[in-house]
Structure 1
Amino acid sequence: MPRPASPRIVFAGTPDFAVPPLQRLIENGLKPLAVLTQPDRPAGRGRKLQASPVKHAALEAGIAVHQPASLRNEEFTDWLNQCRPDLMVVVAYGLILPAEVLAIPRHGCWNIHASLLPRWRGAAPIQRAIEAGDAVSGVCIMQMDEGLDTGGVLLRRETPIGPDDTGGSLHDRLAELGADALLQAVNQLAAGERPRAEPQPAEGVTYARKLDKAEARIDWREPAATLARRVRAFNPWPVAWCDIGGERTRIWDASARSDAAEAAEPGAVLNAGPDGIAVATGDGILVLRRLQRPGGRPVSAAEYLNARTPPDRLAVPA
């Protein structure tokens, strides 16, 4: 029996999270016929234009790259129609796909979403899951519709969120998990066994709002457990921070202790040693274990204390 023809795929993605799925397709003989990614953006101190991680990966594989500023124009829809795609795979692309684009591929558009839908629809599902204290996360291969992450789920894969997971570590694990799930779904499609899209339940919907630098400041009046989760969630971006003696100090690692803070006011420094700087919070103690002074590199608490001594109390946001 002849092997089924590989589906004609257009891949749309931009950041690091989208690179493993693209590479998994290429490695398994499912090379996309074209890749869409965001236009090059200025970055770094020199503000030079930089290509996206997906653009680098696509060019390395010899795939044609297209970088439209918008998908809401006749020129783009004409081009996509000429591609005659069976499927468009969308992974953290960054542009909204209008209805006329969603309708062009024969099997529609599939998205890899980094949560267990309908929980954490929206922009920052990885970080919000850690921040909320979820015990499990995962990825969904979703049939896209015009709503915000509201389409039916074709495949889902779970992974536990460990006590030391950060936004970065969970991001990397989910990127690989999404790549594996996508490959399975596309292989099923190629074999004529298209996975069925299960409608999302109406119950359990939550929204993962976009991360904002303003929320990264530590408010010592909050519970230590909440602050510790936020430190992990915001590593590597936007990175939690606090004011230590007038310095905006980034906190890369911290842990919560539930023992009483001896009725100390939030922000009071209870002790400081090689294992960390213990600070009273609204409920419990937050131990700062890895810090970064302005212009410096992240260091252990022991290294930090070799350079300076924290004040008796850290500033509480107004």
Structure 2
Amino acid sequence: MRKILPRRAARADRERRVGGMRLVEIADIRAAADRITPVVVHTPLVPMDGLWIKAESLQRVGSFKIRGAYNAVASLRPSGVVTHSSGNHGQALAYAAREFGVPCVVVVPEGTPRVKASAIERHGAELIVVPPEQRLSAAEKLVEERGLTMIPPYDHPAVIAGQGTIGLEIATELPDVELVLVPVSGGGLASGIAAAIKASSPGVQVLGVEPELAADAAESLAAGRPIAWEPARTFRTIADGLRADLSPLTFAHLRRHLDGIVTVSEDEIRQAMRHLFGSARLVAEPSGAVATAAVLSGKVPAGRRTVVILSGGNVDADLYRQVI
């Protein structure tokens, strides 16, 4: 029998769905916050030059990815997991899988920084390296062959909700925040944070930031539909964690909640890495520095109470020495 919803509830349900997809809500994010408490660090807002840096580089796995990965495993309770990853999600999922005592396989593209690949193996996961264009298909094949559960790096409500817990922390710790800047790759981090911030304080502006050499999200939002960039284009950027395309699910979240996209150059990313080290004593991988780069470059005007997401600090030592 078809369930008949009250008119108000039916309208609210339609508002939560876009193209048949249910968008993550504040209740999902609050539930995720409870689940991830045992392993996630409530990272500080570090003051720097009139900004507040949300230092997710201080998580146990060196990036925000532990939030979404752990929430997904804790809520789904799979018997084994697999994912495709540029590195940070892979090591976060490996960590979460180890905590729950289940096997984990991580497919990474050729060229993944060794610091990230080594961490995946150190946390007990099986590492498989493939050409960039094969990472998704290889992971999907393992789902069929081994009966593993796919935990994608961004294209899953539980992952988005986990990342959204950063927004809850910002809204609680700095309730008068006016602007939040978030790195964008596949869009899970920006989707979750924007959903949390807009539910808590609708007037706060949330902007995404991505490299000019991997600006598929900016192009997608301008076109009104997801547009994929092939790996030959996105692999030009130093920001190895920001080379993924939006999914229909993350595109729907960003289209609803995000106020815009800013792009930054490779030189601006390097300068932001140097500035974060020199002024805040924070290590940022290139992907983690893009939001700071948007402010330092003047592409986002200063003067407002601004929180910048430093999404990760997993950078190979040789590259870091070259940049610094």
Specify if TM > 0.5: no
The structure richer in helix per residue is: 2
- Structure number with the bigger relative contact order (C-alpha 8 A, sep ≥ 6) is 2
- Whichever of the two has the greater Rg, that structure is 1
| TM-score (norm. length: structure 2) | 0.31
